[in-house]
Amino acid sequence: MLNIAIYSRKSIFTEKGNSIENQINLCKTYCSTYLDKKSEINYLIYEDEGFSGKNTNRPEFKHLINDIKHNKIHILICYRLDRISRNVADFSSTLELLQKYGVDFISIKERFDTSTPLGRAMIYMASVFAQLERETIAERVRDNMIKLAESGRWLGGNTPYGFNIKRQSYITSDFKEKTLSILTPNDSELKVVKLIYSYYIKKRSIRAVEKYLNSNSIIGKKGGHIDITIIRRILRNPLYVISDSTSHKYLESIGFNVFGIPNGNGYITYNKITSISNTTNCIAAVSNHTGIIPSYEWLNVQSQLDINKSKTPRTGTGKNHSLFSGILKCKKCGSNMVIKFSGYNNNNIPYEYYVCSGKQNKFKAKCTTRNIRVAKLDSIILEKLNLYNKAIILNALKTSLDNFNTNFENQHIINIKSKIKENESLMSNLIKQLSKSTSEFVSNKIMKEINSIDNIIQNLNNELSSLKSSKSLSNTIDHATIKQISNSFSNLNATLNYIEDISQKRLLIHTLIKCVIWDSDNNTVEIILH
């Protein structure tokens, strides 16, 4: 049984021209003439009369799309392309949906049949124009946003600390009423901002600022904790600096395109996160809100932040001697255990401690888990790990390899999709050449190449479907190899002592262990394997 959907649409109720009934009859005639007569045909009729083709918000069209998604339709046929949509982007989206669910599409007037190579080429051509339209719209929006940013207008996003958002109405040059968002000062929060700057200049440490705010019960927006990320964002933001020639020059020196006349107001930034090689749209513009931090003070803070950034090592970069950093958690509060340094011994080796991050990062009930030397806790964990049954380790390694197989399978899918995309790009370029060609000989050559690429794409899609339907690329695992590896874990200390690189030791541990939970009250650990 071949389920053929006939879609007909007419903008106004009329019997003139290509009426609904005429469209349906023409579609049925086409099917009986050109389609495979061996298959029994079941017609499904969808009629939208009195609806425009400017969008897809039509009752029967929605019904049609729903039936397609439920695999009730094999072929969709209409009298003319614009019966589906007059909007190129909407039409392209519909074609993509049909492709996804394996539904062929026929348009009688344009001889558009996606069951043929030429029909599929037309799909790619339609997609090219749709993509062009989308990119044009996106570029227009970006240009408008850039112009608004250059004027210092707030363009939305999370409300910055120290300000509230107020909606304000205005009348455009063509007498239309519109609204915009403006920043209004929140005096109590701005006092905190000033405090953050002054205390940072005094202590030269974001962590010290965080500790001071917490100990004095100073909260963030919506009663939240002001953590180091929020503090760093406040200290880096030109929103608070009083604009003058000095701040202008500094912002230009770090890659901003600066707009507006320095007048004591703060700056609004746009496209701050951008690549170093492309700072074209990285904008800082003098806004309408008053700045509160003098430029010399703000620049002093920027200088100190840069100094601290260059000398402070990131946690977990491998410069500590912990084997379990990143997977060690606190039993009491569930927070990560982080590494803290406390001086050096006579051999210039740092004293390293595991410290619950909940002691510093929690605004209210701070964790009471006691600190412990890294070497001591690592020794406790390794001692317990060496007591584990080989069978448990074997199973954990098998699970890890299963996960590896799954990741490999996912990578294979990504590679196939990449090849499909490359060939579709080649197809699009050939179609562009075909549209410009005036030579029949050249056109025939291009069409042969299009057909060849189309076959490649179909084969790749078939391979992709087959791969997605299978649960795994391979269910066979080399158990002998796993056993050999597991034997090395029977004396884990000896294995780790053999490896010199601390990052390699850590990698070996992380391969086997998912998480370690430290209970300081009972001096015990719980090891959770993969």
Reported confidence tier of residue 390, pLDDT bands at 50, 70, 90: low
Query: What are residue 330's phi and psi, to 5 degrees?
Result: -85, 135
Using alpha carbons, list the distances in angstroms from residue 381 to 148, 322, 399, 476, 527: 58, 12, 21, 32, 8
Second-level CATH architecture of 194-311: Alpha-Beta Complex (3.90)
Q: Which stretch, 192-201, 204-213, 417-426, 485-494, has highest mean pLDDT? A: 192-201
* 2-135 to CATH, choices 1.20.1260.10, 3.40.50.300, 3.40.50.1390, 1.10.760.10: 3.40.50.1390
User: Rounded to the nearest 10 degrees, how much is the dihedral formed by the CA atoms of 92, 97, 102, 105?
Assistant: -40
* Distance in angstroms (rounded) separating the CA atoms of residues 326 and 176: 56
Q: What integer pLDDT is reported at residue 477 of this predicted model?
A: 40
Give residue limits of the domains in the chain: 2-135, 151-181, 194-311, 331-367
Compare 78 and 425 and report the one with higher pLDDT.
78
Q: What integer pLDDT is reported at residue 473 of this predicted model?
A: 38
* Distance in angstroms (rounded) separating the CA atoms of residues 336 and 318: 17
Structure tokens at 56: 């897809």
Please check the confidence at residue 66 and state whether its pLDDT lies above 90: yes
Mean pLDDT (whole number) for 269-279: 55
Residues 6+ apart with CB under 8 A from 150: 259, 283, 285
Lowest mean pLDDT, pick from 103-112, 159-168, 429-438, 518-527: 429-438
Return the exposure string of 258-291: e unless at least 16 CB atoms fall within 10 Å of the residue's CB, then b.
bbbebeebbbbbbbeeeeeeeeeebbbbbbbbeb
Reported confidence tier of residue 96, pLDDT bands at 50, 70, 90: confident
Q: What are the tens digits of pLDDT across the range 182-226?
A: 889 999 999 999 999 999 999 999 989 998 998 888 988 887 888
* Distance in angstroms (rounded) separating the CA atoms of residues 147 and 504: 51
Lowest mean pLDDT, pick from 78-87, 98-107, 498-507, 521-530: 498-507
Lowest mean pLDDT, pick from 83-87, 348-352, 429-433, 516-520: 429-433
Q: What integer pLDDT is reported at residue 78 of this predicted model?
A: 94
Mean pLDDT (whole number) for 65-69: 95
Please check the confidence at residue 75 and state whether its pLDDT lies above 90: yes
Please check the confidence at residue 245 and state whether its pLDDT lies above 80: yes
Average pLDDT of the chain?
79
Q: What integer pLDDT is reported at residue 403 of this predicted model?
A: 59
Q: What are the tens digits of pLDDT across the range 150-162?
A: 666 777 778 899 9
Q: What are the tens digits of pLDDT across the range 320-356?
A: 778 888 899 999 988 889 888 877 777 777 788 999 9
Q: What are the tens digits of pLDDT across the range 434-477?
A: 766 667 776 777 777 887 888 888 888 878 776 665 544 344 44
Compare 45 and 141 and report the one with higher pLDDT.
45
Name the one residue in this structure whose structure tokens are 């990578």.
Answer: 411
Whether the predicted model's global pTM rises above the 0.85 cut: no
